[in-house]
Structure 1
Amino acid sequence: MLAKIAKFFNDLQTDAVAESDELSIEMACTVLLCEVMRADGHLDSSEQTMLTNTISQHFALAPEEVSALIEQAIALSEHAIDFHQFTSKVNQHYSATEKTQIVSLLWQLALADGKIASIEEHIIRKIADLLHLSRAEYIRAKESILS
């Protein structure tokens, strides 16, 4: 019985490692953007348009690739327990300057509907913390959008 339980948890851990290895940087960033977009419970058309444009420009993807990426990212976002697997991918691949730019994109998306909900601000702060950004970097990213 204990062997079966141990095997079950081992298989779960192996599956989680395999999933995180397959996670692309594009997907990780898109999921984080989707988290902010979904945070206030309103999927505003201006936010969706901003998300599509942001992904298209940031990653230089074709429109059909962007649509597929966003669709998968929303599904991952809806089932994610936390942000760690996504922020760790960003931490592996991006410099502090690039991570600050990602946080700026999060602020842009949050502001796309004309207002920033407190839950959006909370999520952006949490993501910035997981990206190991200093308070100054976080504020710089926010001010670059709000100014």
Structure 2
Amino acid sequence: MTLIDRLRSFAAQAFGMTSDGKADTGTDEALAAIALLVHVARADGTLAPAEAERLSRLVQGRYAETRNQADALIARAAAFDAETRDMADLVEMMGHGADHEERLRLVAMAWSLATADGAVHEFEEALVYRLGTLLGLTEDEVGRARTDMPATA
């Protein structure tokens, strides 16, 4: 059983996913994307109130209709992130179906989270650049995504 298969099996058991591997609210890909955002939000070792608020608004704006749905997805994604050893595993869970614009949007959301507390720490910056690289974006694209942060930020 591959690592991805084990992660999917864990997700099915831990997060109430259906037998076909889809989450009740959202897809595997969405859960992995939210887990990546949680990972970035916690990059400096803490989830500050401003980061938690921004994360909730970003998830509600993109993956959920209501605040309660967003918070439930974030809780599931946070547990998923805690069980995952590396961001690369989460990127792999997203699959290769995400188009270029979706990958850029995810990096812009990550930048938005990194700036939520008023300062981008060196570790957060390196993490967002690594995320962009794992998503197949160039350094220039990752840098430009910083100026294209979502309006909900």
The answer, yes or no, to whether TM exceeds 0.5 is yes
Give, as a single letter, the amino acid of the residue that structure 1 aligns with 2:44. Answer: D
Shift of 1:64: 2.4
After TM superposition, the structure 1 stretch with the greater mean CA deviation from structure 2, 114-123 or 84-93, is: 84-93
Shift of 1:14: 4.9
Please name the residue that 2:75 is paired with.
71
Question: Residue 116 and residue 64 in structure 1: after superposition, are their counterparts in 2 closer, same or farther (change >3 A)?
Answer: same
Identity of aligned residues (%): 26
TM-score by length of 1: 0.80
After TM superposition, the structure 1 stretch with the greater mean CA deviation from structure 2, 72-81 or 44-53, is: 72-81
Instruction: Describe the SS at the equivalent of 1:43.
Output: coil
The higher radius of gyration belongs to 1
Structure 1 residues not aligned, in runs of 5+ = 1-9
Matched, 1:125 2:129: yes
The structure with more helix, counted as a fraction of residues: 1
Question: Residue 91 and residue 135 in structure 1: after superposition, are their counterparts in 2 closer, same or farther (change >3 A)?
Answer: farther
Q: Comparing both chains, which one has the higher relative contact order based on Cα–Cα distances under 8 Å and sequence gaps of 6 or more?
A: 1
The number of residue pairs the alignment matches comes to: 136
Cα deviation digits, residues 100-131 of structure 1 (max 9, x gap): 11100000011011001111111111111110
- Taking only aligned residues, the RMSD between alpha carbons, in angstroms, comes to 2.3
Please name the residue that 1:110 is paired with.
114
Please name the residue that 1:93 is paired with.
97
Give, as a single letter, the amino acid of the residue that structure 2 aligns with 1:136. Answer: D
TM-score by length of 2: 0.78
Question: Residue 111 and residue 93 in structure 1: after superposition, are their counterparts in 2 closer, same or farther (change >3 A)?
Answer: same
Judge conservation of contact 1:88–1:131 (CA < 8 Å) in 2. Answer: no
The within-5 A match list for 1:1-147 is 10=1, 14-16=5-7, 18-19=9-10, 22=21, 24-145=28-149
Question: Residue 134 and residue 74 in structure 1: after superposition, are their counterparts in 2 closer, same or farther (change >3 A)?
Answer: same
Q: Distance in 2 between matches of 1:13 and 1:91?
A: 10
Give, as a single letter, the amino acid of the residue that structure 1 aligns with 2:6. Answer: D
Structure 2 residues not aligned, in runs of 5+ = 12-19, 22-26
